[in-house]
Amino acid sequence: MLYDEGGSGRSMLLLHGLMGSAATWRRQVPWLRQFGHVYTYDAPGHRRPPPAELTTEFFVAALLEQLETLGPSVLIGHSMGALHGWCAAAQRPDLVTALVVEDIAPDFRGRTADDWAAMIRAWPQPFPDADAVREFFGDIAGQYFLDSFDRDDDGWRLHGEVDFFESISQEWGTRHFWDQWDAVDAPVLLIEGEHTITPAGQMTQMHSRKPGSVYVRIEKAAHLIHDEAPERYRTAVEEFLRTLR
């Protein structure tokens, strides 16, 4: 579940989003090695068995187990991974030295994953080859899923059950994570896409509640900012990392 990607110096752990995998960071790993010793991580249920409990607390506990091994680390998270990262920072500030939060917010109450899950169930799986995946999802999201999907003799398919991914997302519609956010004491970089999936204004509100944080909005980008606008993402993260001791 934990992969040593090389580099030296401070520990940096990259946390993928829902339905992603450690491999979705492979285009960022080479330049991040300049800033520390990079690790990637497969969350429970992503290319490994699902957790016993489908709660954010369970995912955070699994993450903290890895941080106990790595020691104090910079957490660079996308979507779900970023949420788990700041919850870990709130619970164990001694293990999180800084945070990068990409396109996720604390409060999705009132939303459901019903339509999203129905769309996934309608995907024409298995996809016969990599070209079919790219044709269906487009080049950027297609590559993201090629980095995550399982490949069998009959083609490419989702690396987990739809019910599992749906349950994770549904939980976010029943609760908020503002308390955990307010408890974070580490330096934070917030990166939001122009076409974000987050409720309007929440990431700027996160910034205003932490005056020392850095907020960057990436125009024309949607949810996969690190792949849709890789140079602007890299510039923002590098500038932030250079400010850290």
For 183-241, what is the HEC assignment? HCCCCEEEEEECCCCCCCCHHHHHHHHCCCCEEEEECCCCCCHHHHCHHHHHHHHHHHH
What is residue 53's predicted lDDT score, i.e. its pLDDT?
A: 82
Residue that has been written with the tokens 């001791």 in this structure: 245
Structure tokens at 113: 């994953």
Among residues 92, 93, 61, 83, which one has the least CA distance to residue 186? Answer: 93
In this prediction, residue 6 carries a pLDDT of: 97
Place of tokens 């990259």: 14
Q: What is the pTM of this model?
A: 0.96
- Residue 48's pLDDT is what? 79
Distance CA 92, CA 44 (A): 20
pLDDT along the chain (245 residues), means of 10: 95 96 96 98 86 90 96 98 98 98 96 93 96 96 95 93 93 96 98 95 97 96 96 98 92
Sole residue written with tokens 């369970």: 58
Taking the C-alpha atoms of residue 32 and residue 200, their distance in angstroms, rounded to an integer, is 30
Confidence at residue 245, expressed as pLDDT on a 0 to 100 scale: 76
DSSP code per residue over 61-88? HHHHHHHHHH-SEEEEEETHHHHHHHHH
Give the per-residue pLDDT at 147: 95
Spatial CB neighbours of 197, under 8 Å, sequence gap ≥ 6: 79, 103, 222, 223
